[in-house]
Amino acid sequence: MAGAAPATAFGQAVIGPPGSGKTTYCLGMSEFLRALGRRVAVVNLDPANEGLPYECAVDVGELVGLGDVMDALRLGPNGGLLYCMEYLEANLDWLRAKLDPLRGHYFLFDCPGQVELCTHHGALRSIFSQMAQWDLRLTAVHLVDSHYCTDPAKFISVLCTSLATMLHVELPHVNLLSKMDLIEHYGKLAFNLDYYTEVLDLSYLLDHLASDPFFRHYRQLNEKLVQLIEDYSLVSFIPLNIQDKDSIQRVLQAVDKANGYCFGVQEQRSLEAMMSAAVGADFHFSSTLGLQEKYLAPSDQSVEQEAMQL
């Protein structure tokens, strides 16, 4: 029926350690998406979030509160947060009832920052898996503070955490180095930024660590960790400055390609945008409509023959 909401919904599961900028990312990305004409629904899945800066369509705090859990069960913040996610997992009918009226929106899920939830605890992964059964296609957007690049030991730890998260969450995955506008305040990088975003030959990091007397004793351990990361060859990063529209656009292109949104029919897209998203490059056509008419209109010659004549 014309005007009906599409059956398939798309969105982002925004994850990452505390302080990595998840809530700020949700605010900036939601504003950017609305400027593009997408209807956006931001869902807060973090019961510890207070004073949300964005308009929240669904708030898990309506179902369970971290403070109430800590008081009733005498748990600390970490244990309380795990319980909250397990409680949400056991009450997914509540979440579905909140999300169903929002079909046709693009979802941003602001997730808790506890690292265990994304590396080995099963509640959050189970919630994402159930959303997939509801025909909700998500991309995990994993934020990491860019200041870790200034410390080789911390960067190796970040790589291990990112790899564990990618393997555990089981979603299409995009890793971001957040707060790139502040990286100059953290100190000088030992290598060019491309080295960290592309995760190039990590043996140089080992040599850098060897200059520190403390880490010299753990060289064999670091070598094994680096070997594990390189054997999987999965981790790479996109730099993000949430204040820069071009930076947000690059992130959005990667996310849309990961969850398949760019191949949908929700928006009218030009051939140039479609091809750029498909192959990860920027194509420049003088006239998209002209090419469409030329190659899609009936003619005596095949498209391949016409292309060979150009």
**Regarding beta strands 40-44 and 106-110, do their DSSP bridges make them parallel or antiparallel, or are they unpaired?**
parallel
Task: Give yes or no for a contact between 172 and 258, defined as CB atoms under 8 angstroms apart.
Answer: yes
Q: Is residue 85 situated within a structural domain? A: yes
Residue 270 lies in a domain: no
Burial class (CB in 10 A: 0-12, 13-18, 19+), 231: exposed
| Phi and psi at residue 253, to the nearest 5° | -60, -40
Asked if the structure places residue 295 within a domain, the reply is: no
Buried (b) or exposed (e) across 107-120, using 16+ Cβ within 10 A? bbbbbbbbbebbbe
Kindly report the CA angle at 135 between 132 and 137, in degrees rounded to 5?
65
H runs (alpha helix) in 100-218? 116-119, 123-133, 152-169, 183-186, 193-197, 203-210, 213-216
> Which value, to the nearest 10 degrees, does the dihedral of the CA atoms of residues 278, 284, 290, 292 take?
-10
CA atoms within 13 A on the CB side of 219: 12
Residue 209, domain member (yes or no): yes
Q: What is the model's pLDDT at position 206?
A: 87
- Cα(191)–Cα(185) distance, rounded to whole angstroms? 16
pTM of the entire predicted model: 0.82
pLDDT given at position 268: 45
Residue 304 confidence (pLDDT) above 90: no
Looking at per-residue pLDDT, the higher value among 88 and 188 belongs to 88
Return all residues near 210 (Cβ < 8 A) that are at least 6 apart. 216, 219
The whole domain housing 101 covers 9-263
In a domain, residue 268? The reply is no
The secondary structure element, H or E, covering residue 224 is: helix 219-232
**Rg of the chain over all Cα atoms, to the nearest angstrom:** 22
In a domain? residue 294 = no
Any idea of the CA torsion for 111, 116, 121, 124, to the nearest 10 degrees? 10
Percent above pLDDT 90 for the chain: 65
Q: Give kind and range of the element (H or E) at residue 59.
A: strand 56-59
At 125-156, the pLDDT tens digits run 999 999 999 999 999 999 999 999 988 889 99
Task: Give the number of domains in the chain.
Answer: 1
Among 118-122, 218-222, 306-310, the range of highest mean pLDDT: 118-122
If one compares 78 and 214, the residue with the highest pLDDT of the two is: 78
Mean pLDDT of the chain: 84
Each residue's pLDDT tens digit, 169-191: 999 999 999 999 888 787 788 88
> Per-residue pLDDT tens for 190-238?
888 999 999 988 988 888 887 877 788 888 898 999 999 999 999 999 9
Q: Is position 4 within any domain? A: no
- Look at residue 184 and tell me if it is in a domain: yes
Domain containing residue 17: CATH number: 3.40.50.300
